[in-house]
Structure 1
Amino acid sequence: MKILDRYILTSFITTFASVFIILFFIFVLQGIWLFISELAGKDLDVWLVIKFLAFYSPKIVPLVLPLSILLASIMTFGSFAENYEFAAMKSSGISLGRAMRGLTVFICALSIVAFFFANNVIPKAEYKFINLRKNIIQRKPAMAIVEGQFNALGNFNIKVDKKSGENGEKLAGVTIHKRVPGAANATIIRSKKGLLKSDEKSNLLQLELFDGHYYEDINSKNPVERMRQPFAKSSFSKQIMNIDLTMLNSNDIDDEKIAHTNTMLNVSELNYTLDSLENNQIKEAKSITDNIVQRSSVVLEDLNASKLLPNQPNQVKKDSIPKNLLDLIKVKEDKSRILDIAANNISSTDYLVKSGKDQMYEKTKNVNNHWLALYDKFVIAFACLLMFFIGAPLGAIIRKGGLGLPIVFAVLIFIIFHFINTFGRKLAQENGIPPFLGAWMSSFVLSPLAILLTYRATNDIGMINMDNILLPLQKVFTKLFKIKQKEE
């Protein structure tokens, strides 16, 4: 390695390491705020918190790494240009492309490392992270409940006045609102004492209630009675409730109700899973279609079997077929029966179509999420190269190092990259565009910018040639000024 390559590489790595550590720490703090309700006031030991953050932090790397490369590239090459080091290189016959050669090899190696990190480390860390959250709650079930406020657990909203015991498993003043999706009735349970129990091998949290009352609204068919809002009340000395913690252990932090198991799979596992999911999707679509067709055939057979429709071809002459098929039926009651059967058939078929459409939508969304997870492992590797070829020539063009202007450009470019990436992913999840395009959209949009900046920097062309803008304006003002002088 030549002295120049070593000098450029050392300068870049020093800046990159500093920027990466700072940004990584900032994003970890953001993660702490996301899970503050699970960490604060839970009497967790330091080692458990460290494990929690250690398993969470790998998923931050795909965000921090491209931004760190972009900012370090702008700062390093901007500093070289600002201190006239590039001018010295060019006077010695060394072009910008030659100066970037050593760093390009380093970034390529870093991209390969990023791919293997995203393929092997992040899925395992995600699996460990989800199971750690599950184990924390199961070993200390009282962690799922905070004193003095309602806590959503499964289909229950639970409020506890006070917790006691070694792990906070003894409860006092328990109020429970039971939520049943789609039901109008409200159920409220109040008890003086409660006890939490759990098993590490189960997702169920057992709650024993003592000395309490059970209230449930009653829906009356009589409007007058309904206005009085009647309810049923019963008392109990002991009652056992099982609370499902499956949703609480979900790894989705954006309040989506779909389990993202695809984030815990590597490339080979995703390919295998995708093959199974797509085959299952095809079978499900065929089953729904066959069910709708078969139901229509059964209805027609029932009509013929009941002799409501003429099933013999010679019963009706071709030239005497009326425009309204109901005119073929002479009995008024039979016409009503046919209309009722047709209405019921349309209603049931419409329900089958809508339910089948919803099922296929969820399956398609699940398949798209797996495809996005597969492409993301390659996108992170390409993003490292893309950000370098944007940052290095941009730094040489703006000729500013340090933490001033480079941070502004880096943040603006990364926000655009991240916004397009998020927009493409959301659109692909909803099946608006193919998952491949959704995952690579940000790279496709910013690649021309990288090519343009690299071309202009290597050919000593500035970001914007101000002469091309100012000269036409200067000519216009000169002509106007001469015209005014002639008029005077």
Structure 2
Amino acid sequence: MRKLDTLILKAFFGPFVLTTVVATFVLLIQYMLKYFDDFVGKNLGFDVFAELLTYFSLNMLQAALPLGVLVSSLMTFGNLGENFELTAIKSAGISLVRALRPIFFFVIILTFAAFQFMNHVVPAANLKAYSLLYDIKHKKPALDIKEGVFYNGIPDYSIKVKEKLSDNKTLKDVLIYDHTDGKGNNRVILADSSRMFMMYNDKYLKLELYDGNYYSEESKPREPVDQFYRTKFNRMDMVFNLSSFDLKRTKEELFQNNRQMKNISELTVDIDSLGRSIYTSKQGFITNARGFFSYHLKESELKVPNAPPAKEEVKADTTEQSVVEASMLSFLTQNPVQKKLAKDPEGAGMRLQAKLPSTELKVIKDDQDSTLTAIDADSLANGVVLGKPKLDTMSWEYLHSTLAKRKIDVLQTAKNQAQNVKVNLTSVVSRVKNLEKDHRRWIIEKWKKYSQAFACIVMFLIGAPLGAIIKKGGLGVPVIVSILFFLVFYIIGIICEKSAKEGVMDPVLAVWVADLALLPIGLFFLRQARIDARLFDTDFYNVWIDKLKTRFSKK
């Protein structure tokens, strides 16, 4: 049995390494094509490309492992079946499940190693890969001065040449705008020709200008007109610093908050923090919104009981007694004695009656506005007339108008507060949606580390029995069948993951749907392989078709 186990493991290990490397390379090329435009014309060098590809290959390896297990297991047992070795094993009394056991144990160990790799190695590789990719995107393109086009790659200079010779060094009709002083195009250099050289490991650019003029315009203090200068030269050398073209590395700590750069323990902490933030945002809105609901009186509660209608007018009583009462009311509202009434109503009232007897009050009529005015005897003797009576705050008209104004104020205040609640609610809803979306993404990233590792077992359960049933080795049929199942696995995972990010599905369930969908298929193939079912033989289906024809012909 040990020899048999060794034989099967050797037959499996070689195709597994080969297919895993090929799958990683294919996935890497497909992924890097998205950033192809960011690499062109930047003169990055082989070492930068090698570093970037190494980091991203580690990232792609987590997706290539299940595919490698599927293809290699299908090839291994397909070769055993094609060479009748699997038949010899069964003839010796060894079941198919026993023949699968050594590779199955290897796949379990591989699954555990893949989980540790995704939990520790992949986050560190992603941190370095994406930080380097960010620096490459923000790197300036290499120096490339073209004919008839202004080149603004060098800071504070704009260069245009009419002709560039084939040696890439000689330039004709050179025009240079010098913006180092920050005052616009007040410094211009024209040259008939120029030669271009790189110095000190391409860190400096030297231009040797020949037969030209240097124009400058400078303002002078206390002079209304700027001074214009022209300097003719036979040769002038200009040296430009090209340090801005170097690849500047950003601190990796700035990218550590991304979910792809975290392991499971860090993702768990972030998931708890995001859940707490969601709860705090909702609870904070409810607490703050309570302060906006202070006005909740009904319209019926704003009316005075037993009050006459607001539109009903009260007719004025023109009797002498009413006029006297109105005059006394006017006097009370204008005389300082009113203040004493508030402190000592009884005593102040008595003093007022003693000081102002009703016989000393006279009434005159103002013909201009037909209103009544009250005067006392002393004021009449001195020619002083009291003002018009102030508003009676105890009248029904005043109460109706006050309540109407209060009702309008209450409604306007309620409207303003409702608008504030709406604005706050919109802001909170937007914040909660973003937090919930991040919360779902973090959950997906956490459980993907488990599901992708478990996919190795699922793919083995599909590939090994299927290879025993097909009995075809090599790279033809196994590769086609493996790609078919892997596409199904990949498409289901992408669709469910996208649905989970949008909140349509539960994030944990969405991550496991692809594994759960293919696991019954693998168990079905395993059962069919144990009973030597001929699922892919045409004779098997011809027999079924003949049986159906016979049954229908009898009817």
Structure 1 residue 475 corresponds to structure 2 residue 537: no
Q: Deviation string for 1:415-440 (max 9, x for gaps)?
A: 11111111111111122222110111
Taking the TM superposition and a 5 Å limit, the aligned residue runs for 1:109-188 are 109-136=109-136, 141-143=139-141, 161-164=150-153, 169=155, 172=158
Residue 268 of structure 2: aligned partner: 271
Report the Cα distance in structure 2 between the residues aligned to 1:401 and 1:479, rounded to whole angstroms.
Answer: 43
Residue 88 of structure 1: aligned partner: 88
Taking the TM superposition and a 5 Å limit, the aligned residue runs for 1:297-446 are 297=294, 300=295, 315=304, 340-446=412-518
Give 1:332 shift.
6.7
Secondary structure in 2 matching 1:211: coil
Report the Cα distance in structure 1 between the residues aligned to 2:500 and 2:179, rounded to whole angstroms.
Answer: 47
Residue type at the aligned position of 1:30? Q
Report the Cα distance in structure 1 between the residues aligned to 2:177 and 2:505, rounded to whole angstroms.
Answer: 55
CA 1:121–1:341: 2 relative to 1, 3 Å:
same
Decide whether the 8 Å contact of 1:137 with 1:144 is kept in 2: no
Residue type at the aligned position of 1:350? K
Report the Cα distance in structure 2 between the residues aligned to 1:315 and 1:353, rounded to whole angstroms.
Answer: 37
CA 1:332–1:192: 2 relative to 1, 3 Å:
farther
Residue 342 of structure 2: aligned partner: none
Report the Cα distance in structure 2 between the residues aligned to 1:476 and 1:53, rounded to whole angstroms.
Answer: 63
Residue 187 of structure 1: aligned partner: none
Report the Cα distance in structure 2 between the residues aligned to 1:210 and 1:12, rounded to whole angstroms.
Answer: 72
Report the Cα distance in structure 1 between the residues aligned to 2:472 and 2:37, rounded to whole angstroms.
Answer: 42
Residue type at the aligned position of 2:427? S
Q: Deviation string for 1:262-289 (max 9, x for gaps)?
A: 1111111112222222222211111122
Report the Cα distance in structure 1 between the residues aligned to 2:544 and 2:177, rounded to whole angstroms.
Answer: 79
Give 1:91 shift.
0.9
Decide whether the 8 Å contact of 2:256 with 2:262 is kept in 1: no
Report the Cα distance in structure 2 between the residues aligned to 1:92 and 1:360, rounded to whole angstroms.
Answer: 65
Decide whether the 8 Å contact of 2:43 with 2:142 is kept in 1: no
Report the Cα distance in structure 2 between the residues aligned to 1:55 and 1:172, rounded to whole angstroms.
Answer: 38
Give 1:412 shift.
1.3
Give 1:392 shift.
0.6
Decide whether the 8 Å contact of 1:80 with 1:86 is kept in 2: yes
In the superposition, the TM-score normalised over structure 1's length comes to: 0.69
Secondary structure in 2 matching 1:290: helix
Give 1:107 shift.
0.5
Decide whether the 8 Å contact of 1:74 with 1:394 is kept in 2: yes
CA 1:346–1:122: 2 relative to 1, 3 Å:
same
Residue type at the aligned position of 2:260? T
Residue 8 of structure 2: aligned partner: 8
State which of 460, 468, 471 in structure 1 corresponds to 2:532: 460
Residue 184 of structure 2: aligned partner: 211
Same amino acid, percent of matched pairs = 28
CA 1:470–1:37: 2 relative to 1, 3 Å:
same
Taking the TM superposition and a 5 Å limit, the aligned residue runs for 1:183-262 are 211=184, 261-262=258-259
Give 1:164 shift.
4.9
Structure 1 residue 18 corresponds to structure 2 residue 18: yes
Report the Cα distance in structure 2 between the residues aligned to 1:399 and 1:68, rounded to whole angstroms.
Answer: 19
Residue type at the aligned position of 2:275? E
Report the Cα distance in structure 2 between the residues aligned to 1:356 and 1:145, rounded to whole angstroms.
Answer: 49
Q: Deviation string for 1:247-302 (max 9, x for gaps)?
A: xx9x9xxxxxx9971111111111222222222221111112222333233xx2xx
Number of matched pairs: 378
Report the Cα distance in structure 1 between the residues aligned to 2:424 and 2:144, rounded to whole angstroms.
Answer: 43
Give 1:162 shift.
2.1
Taking the TM superposition and a 5 Å limit, the aligned residue runs for 1:9-48 are 9-48=9-48
Report the Cα distance in structure 2 between the residues aligned to 1:438 and 1:34, rounded to whole angstroms.
Answer: 26
Structure 1 residue 284 corresponds to structure 2 residue 257: no
Q: Deviation string for 1:120-155 (max 9, x for gaps)?
A: 0110011112222344466xx42499999xxxxxxx
Residue 57 of structure 1: aligned partner: 57
Report the Cα distance in structure 2 between the residues aligned to 1:333 and 1:435, rounded to whole angstroms.
Answer: 55
Residue type at the aligned position of 2:517? V
| C-alpha RMSD of matched pairs (Å) | 3.7
Give 1:41 shift.
1.2
Decide whether the 8 Å contact of 2:59 with 2:126 is kept in 1: yes
Report the Cα distance in structure 1 between the residues aligned to 2:50 and 2:290, rounded to whole angstroms.
Answer: 58
Give 1:87 shift.
0.9
Q: Deviation string for 1:374-430 (max 9, x for gaps)?
A: 101111210011100111111111221122222221111111111111111111112
Give 1:71 shift.
1.1
Unmatched runs of 5 consecutive residues or more in structure 2: 161-175, 186-218, 220-249, 307-399
In the superposition, the TM-score normalised over structure 2's length comes to: 0.61
CA 1:143–1:343: 2 relative to 1, 3 Å:
farther
Unmatched runs of 5 consecutive residues or more in structure 1: 149-159, 175-190, 196-207, 213-236, 238-248, 252-257, 318-328, 481-488
Secondary structure in 1 matching 2:140: helix
Report the Cα distance in structure 2 between the residues aligned to 1:144 and 1:345, rounded to whole angstroms.
Answer: 59
Q: Deviation string for 1:184-226 (max 9, x for gaps)?
A: xxxxxxx96779xxxxxxxxxxxx97627xxxxxxxxxxxxxx
Decide whether the 8 Å contact of 2:159 with 2:177 is kept in 1: yes
Residue type at the aligned position of 1:162? Y
Taking the TM superposition and a 5 Å limit, the aligned residue runs for 1:61-76 are 61-76=61-76
CA 1:352–1:81: 2 relative to 1, 3 Å:
same
Report the Cα distance in structure 2 between the residues aligned to 1:54 and 1:345, rounded to whole angstroms.
Answer: 59
Residue type at the aligned position of 1:354? T
CA 1:283–1:474: 2 relative to 1, 3 Å:
same
CA 1:70–1:342: 2 relative to 1, 3 Å:
same
Decide whether the 8 Å contact of 1:193 with 1:210 is kept in 2: no
Residue type at the aligned position of 1:360? V
CA 1:102–1:145: 2 relative to 1, 3 Å:
farther
Decide whether the 8 Å contact of 2:38 with 2:137 is kept in 1: no
Decide whether the 8 Å contact of 2:127 with 2:256 is kept in 1: no
Decide whether the 8 Å contact of 2:39 with 2:136 is kept in 1: no
Decide whether the 8 Å contact of 2:73 with 2:460 is kept in 1: yes
Report the Cα distance in structure 1 between the residues aligned to 2:66 and 2:76, rounded to whole angstroms.
Answer: 15
CA 1:210–1:271: 2 relative to 1, 3 Å:
farther
Give 1:350 shift.
3.0
Decide whether the 8 Å contact of 2:69 with 2:460 is kept in 1: yes
Residue 335 of structure 2: aligned partner: none
Residue 315 of structure 2: aligned partner: none
CA 1:338–1:145: 2 relative to 1, 3 Å:
farther
Report the Cα distance in structure 2 between the residues aligned to 1:89 and 1:350, rounded to whole angstroms.
Answer: 75
Residue type at the aligned position of 2:533? I
Residue 295 of structure 1: aligned partner: 292
CA 1:294–1:36: 2 relative to 1, 3 Å:
same
Secondary structure in 1 matching 2:158: strand
Decide whether the 8 Å contact of 1:147 with 1:163 is kept in 2: no
